Amino acid sequence: MHGFTGRILKVDLGRRQVEVIARDRAFYRQYLGGAFLAARLFKEALAGETPPAPLAPGNPIVFATGPLAGARVCGSTRVNVVSRSPETPGIYTSQGGGEFGPDLKRAGYDALVITGSSAAPVVLNIRNDQVRFDDAAHLWGRDRRDVFEALTTAKGARGSIASIGPAGENRVAHANIMFEPDHYAGRGGLGAVMGAKGLKAICVGGDRAVVFKDEAAVQAVNKSGARTFLKSFQKNPHSFLGVLRTYGTYGLLMLNQDIGNLPVTNFNQARVDDVNFEAAIEHARIGADTVGRRTPCKGCYLGCKKMAKGEDRAPLPEYESMALLGPNLGLRHLAPGMAATDLCNRLGMDTISTGALIAYLMDGFENGDLDADVLGYEIRFGQAEKVVELIRMMAHRKGRAGRLLADGIAACRQALGPAADRHLRFANGMGLPAHMPRVKPGIGFGYLHGPNPGDHMKAEHDWIAASPDDLAMFGLDATSAPADLDRAKVAAYRATQIYCAAMDTLSLCLFIFGPGNILAFDEITALVNAATGFDYRFADLMQIGEASVQLQRRLFAECGGRDTDWLPCLETPVPEGPSRGRRIAPADFAAARAHYYALWGWNDRAAG
């Protein structure tokens, strides 16, 4: 079979049982891989039963890669992870880079399905047909950088590692999963699912060759993409992709500051009004002082992953992390945000939700809506030392504040009362990413809808709705202004949601394969066909993307997911800066939702 192994590995941690399931070409033609395959296997693992609680032994967690994984094809290293989420009602699909997905394929598997719970901490060690359950008691409680180094030294063979930190062990609702030392399936709390299963880490590797139908054609498209990118970069090194190449997503701090799309003090402002901050995030400055060597995913000609300069060899933080653990907490210097990000990564917590939870407390205390005597803790904007302290408290469930935040925003609201609700920046339990919903109303609209609420990577951002040429690729001819939330914006959001779902099914990086980024749609289709031997048209890939969203939406609903009603903060105008006055009117939101549901054929906010 070309592009696939035809094998799914199923592991029951409680019974220590391993099973390999064979799937045929027709199955893969329908489900391909990635997010769609993972959702399908999650559904199969339930076997028609009521979905178990997120931290119950019977909750499956599924890792799935795509048909292009395992060879040096730029942007093909993504792995999708699906499980019922402890952070938000419903399933959640998280995704990470690195070599875990390709090494799963080299071990001979298209996906890994894990159920059950180990009575003692365990490392699942997969090497080709050999699957071991290794004791992990000596690793329990250690941070993930230490665990990665220990396992890399101990296992001695080439391969990849997925691991959790103390936050996952302690079942923190927003705990994440780390791949290798510096890649993350960050959102949805799936690290807590691993922790509840007693699964400290998964080591995977093998020497199975990945076979494509037409290897030469695959590499021809890949090389064409490299030439296209290089030509574009040389012509305009300051473009979006040029910034990623040179500065990583860290470089987006300046771009978003300039347009008024940087969340500051719990999304209440959209830029930092400080000349020193502006000077510190200038590209020339961070290029000289902050951005270190490139550490790209294998075969990637873009290379957005970087190391930070310095002796500690820490990875350069991503934009989302720096924004939400920096300016959004009232921190105007870069060093505290970088330190908070590194601490979250070591302890195993999603930086987006961590920042959202801390900002919620800060805003509540600043406005007198929270009582320090009730919480046993107090924190205000700009208190960098307390940010670090509170991150540790969350990860280790220390103190009333640490325990509450570890359980998520719903637990906080129940315990602290409704007075601070006006400071919520959450969609169905998920902290909002660092793209202002009032400035990007299309992507902000998407935050409040499932599957995957609060996800900024499940559709193209608002710019595309104002680009007739890009819309034409999706058969759309009505444009929408960046500030608008109208029927045209909703149609553009849905079309690119389907497209992104197709790319997630192929487990392809959206920086490379996003609409209009590097490869044309016919080139992407040719690439997939050359790898698999299928005869897809681009319309077929879009149909697969649509089917993937529909399946994930059904599972989202079956697991208790419902779309977020409304966030009152969305109608408060941005007070100053380049995006001053931007807001989402409730009537526009209601009309947009009605149109969105009609386009999908959904009846209400829990329909799937």
CATH no. for residue 560? Answer: 1.10.599.10
pLDDT at 154 (0 to 100)? 73
d(CA 390, CA 62): 31
Q: Are residues 254 and 313 in the same domain?
A: yes
Mean pLDDT of 539-546: 98
Residue 363 has pLDDT above 60, yes or no: yes
Backbone phi and psi for residue 92, each to the nearest 5 degrees, phi listed first: -140, 140
| C-alpha distance from residue 20 to each of 12, 23, 68, 113, 304 (Å) | 12, 10, 21, 10, 36
Provide the number of structural domains found in the chain.
Answer: 3
Within a domain: 258: yes
Q: Are residues 22 and 81 in the same domain?
A: yes
Bridge partners (DSSP) listed for residue 294? 306
Structure tokens belonging to residue 75 = 């942007």
Kindly report the number of other CB atoms within 10 A of residue 543's CB atom: 14
Diameter of the chain measured on Cα atoms: 67
- Of the pLDDT bands very low, low, confident and very high (cuts 50, 70, 90), residue 156 is low
pLDDT at 63 (0 to 100)? 98
Q: Running DSSP on this structure, what letter comes out for residue 495?
A: H
Q: Which CATH number covers residue 89?
A: 3.60.9.10
Where do we find the tokens 């914006």? Answer: 489
- Of the pLDDT bands very low, low, confident and very high (cuts 50, 70, 90), residue 313 is confident
Residue 157 has pLDDT above 60, yes or no: no
Q: Are residues 317 and 387 in the same domain?
A: yes
Asked if 466 and 27 touch (Cβ cutoff 8 Å), the reply is no
Quick one: what percent of the chain has pLDDT higher than 70? 99
Q: Are residues 371 and 396 in the same domain?
A: yes
Kindly report the number of other CB atoms within 10 A of residue 407's CB atom: 20
Q: What is the mean pLDDT of the chain?
A: 96
Within a domain: 264: yes
| C-alpha distance from residue 384 to each of 34, 143, 334, 345, 477 (Å) | 39, 22, 11, 17, 48
d(CA 452, CA 438): 20
Closest CA to 299 of 97, 534, 500: 97
Q: Are residues 412 and 464 in the same domain?
A: no
Residue where a domain stops, chosen among 424, 459, 489: 424
Mean pLDDT of 350-376: 96
Rounded to 10 deg, the angle between the 334-347 and 144-155 helix axes is: 50
Kindly report the number of other CB atoms within 10 A of residue 164's CB atom: 30
Residue where a domain stops, chosen among 371, 395, 424: 424
Q: What is the number of residues in the chain?
A: 608
Mean pLDDT of 496-515: 97
Residue 530 has pLDDT above 70, yes or no: yes
Q: Which CATH number covers residue 325?
A: 1.10.569.10
Within a domain: 272: yes
Q: Are residues 26 and 171 in the same domain?
A: yes
Mean pLDDT of 354-371: 97
Helix (H, G, I), strand (E, B) or coil at 350: coil
Helix (H, G, I), strand (E, B) or coil at 7: strand
- Of the pLDDT bands very low, low, confident and very high (cuts 50, 70, 90), residue 485 is very high
- Of the pLDDT bands very low, low, confident and very high (cuts 50, 70, 90), residue 312 is confident
CA 435 to chain CA centroid, Å, is 14
Within a domain: 450: yes
pLDDT tens-digit profile of 113-154?
999 999 999 999 999 999 999 999 999 999 998 999 999 887
Within a domain: 489: yes
Lowest model confidence (mean pLDDT) among 121-135, 144-158, 418-432, 531-545: 144-158
d(CA 556, CA 550): 10
d(CA 283, CA 301): 21
Q: Are residues 76 and 130 in the same domain?
A: yes
Within a domain: 514: no
The model's pTM is: 0.97
Structure tokens belonging to residue 582 = 């931007």
- Of the pLDDT bands very low, low, confident and very high (cuts 50, 70, 90), residue 571 is very high
pLDDT at 345 (0 to 100)? 96
Lowest model confidence (mean pLDDT) among 150-154, 221-225, 387-391: 150-154
Residue where a domain stops, chosen among 142, 176, 205: 205
Q: Are residues 131 and 262 in the same domain?
A: no
Residue 605 has pLDDT above 80, yes or no: no
> Does the N-terminal peptide bond of residue 451 adopt cis geometry, omega within 30 degrees of 0?
yes
d(CA 597, CA 562): 13
pLDDT tens-digit profile of 178-191?
998 899 999 999 99
Q: Are residues 320 and 351 in the same domain?
A: yes
- Of the pLDDT bands very low, low, confident and very high (cuts 50, 70, 90), residue 293 is very high
d(CA 72, CA 83): 29
Q: Are residues 313 and 400 in the same domain?
A: yes
Within a domain: 532: no
Domain assignment of residue 144, given as a range: 7-205
Q: Are residues 405 and 451 in the same domain?
A: no
Within a domain: 211: no
Residue 607 has pLDDT above 80, yes or no: no
